[in-house]
Amino acid sequence: MNRTEFTLSDVHWLMDLLQTIEVGIVVLDGENRVRSWNGFMENHSGIRADEAQGADLFQLFPDLPREWLERKLHTVRLLNTRTFSVWEQRPYLFRFRNRRPITGTEAYMFQNITFFPLTDQRGAVEGVCLLVYDVTDMASSRRQLEKSNAQLKRLSQTDGLTGLLNRSTWESFLQTEFERHFRYGSEAALVMLDIDHFKPINDTYGHMVGDEVIRQVTSLIKFNLRQPDIAGRYGGEEFAIILPETDLEGAECFAERIRSVIEHQPLKCLDQTIEVTASLGIAPWSLAYQDAEQWLGAADQALYAAKRQGRNQIVVAPLSE
């Protein structure tokens, strides 16, 4: 078997390679003092190799997650095996500024780290080597993709004009709330709201003014919502709101507050000042409803009763036993 002997030139090339490779190399002894520190680490940390060698790693980088890193190093030394850290779990170990122009929006370098033991001729662990990989490009792409997907999901669930939940998404929430209240029997109420005489607004001032009326009524509704309330644009100028953990008295207070503020606050729409009113129907939760559609139908019937009785008022659906 032919064996190639290493020469001084080979060692020199190997050292050049370690200095110029685009991977950080840090070798630690048993006391976590730096034994090796390559060019990648010099360039990104600003600490020269002659400054790092022999120094305690935790003194060089006081912001390192000491407890976590010591546990990692202890595992490598004890088990004489490799271990890893990926950016999804811990974005970086060494807080290096990101210098890549394409991913310049990322403040810091994302890193994957490989820890592996360095053994002597007898197999005893003498030190631990850390390989630091700059994965900023990959991490940034993944984060951008996740952000885009989240944006698409949000757009698919909301109404473009008002920013409220669209009808299909709101109905899925209604189904969930119905099942929850059916199981636990807690109080809740459903409110349907419709802007009165909306068609004449569109016919008189045009659809741009009509859209602005809907937007401003939406703002008034949003202002009066509590955190758990679930509001959606049900269609056209009609809105639907689920009020979890709310009894009839609370629902009536909420509905009256909305009705009153819409009636008394003229809307500035483009160059027009328009006064509008709204009719509302309330259906308190009842075990008599067999499904979410019955509950919604009761609120809808109450809304149309309010319209038949002259509009700008609130009607409560008959309590079902």
pLDDT in tens, 55-112: 999 999 999 999 999 999 999 999 999 999 999 999 999 999 887 665 556 789 999 9
Residue 77 to residues 29, 32, 93, 114, 117: CA-CA distances in angstroms? 10, 11, 19, 14, 6
Average pLDDT (149-178) is 91
Q: In what order do the strands lie in the sheet with 24-28?
A: 34-37, 24-28, 125-134, 111-119, 83-85
Q: Quick one: tokens of 292?
A: 């979410």
In this prediction the pTM is 0.62
Residue 99: φ, ψ to 5°: -115, 5
Q: Is 154 inside any structural domain?
A: no
Which pLDDT value is given to residue 321?
Answer: 54
Query: DSSP alpha helices (H): ranges in 206-247?
Result: 207-224
Residue 279 has pLDDT above 60, yes or no: yes
Q: Is 202 inside any structural domain?
A: yes
pLDDT, the chain, mean: 91
The per-residue DSSP string of 58-85 comes to HHH-TTS-HHHHHHHHHHHHHHT--EEE
Same domain for 191 and 231, yes or no, is yes
| 220-265: pLDDT as tens digits | 999 999 999 999 999 999 999 999 999 999 999 999 999 999 999 9
- CATH code of the domain containing 195: 3.30.70.270
Among 143, 178, 199, identify where a domain stops: 143
Which pLDDT value is given to residue 178?
Answer: 92
Same domain for 272 and 310, yes or no, is yes
On the 0-12 / 13-18 / 19+ scale of CB atoms within 10 A, 32 is middle
Q: What is the span of the domain harbouring residue 300? A: 167-316
